[in-house]
Amino acid sequence: MDYVVLNVNKRSVDRDLDVYRNLLSKLLQAKELLKEYVDREKKKREERTEPQKANEAIKKCLGEYLYSHHVLNYQ
In the chain, where the domains are located? 10-73
Tens of pLDDT along 29-69?
Answer: 999 999 999 999 999 988 888 888 887 888 888 777 665 66
C-alpha 28, offset from chain centre: 16
C-alpha 31, offset from chain centre: 11
Q: Is it the case that residue 70 has pLDDT exceeding 90?
A: no
Helix (H) or strand (E) holding 59, with range, is helix 10-73
**Buried b vs exposed e over 26-49: b needs ≥16 C-beta within 10 Å?**
eeeeeeeeeeeeeeeeeeeeeeee
User: Given pLDDT bands bounded at 50, 70 and 90, which one contains residue 5?
Assistant: confident
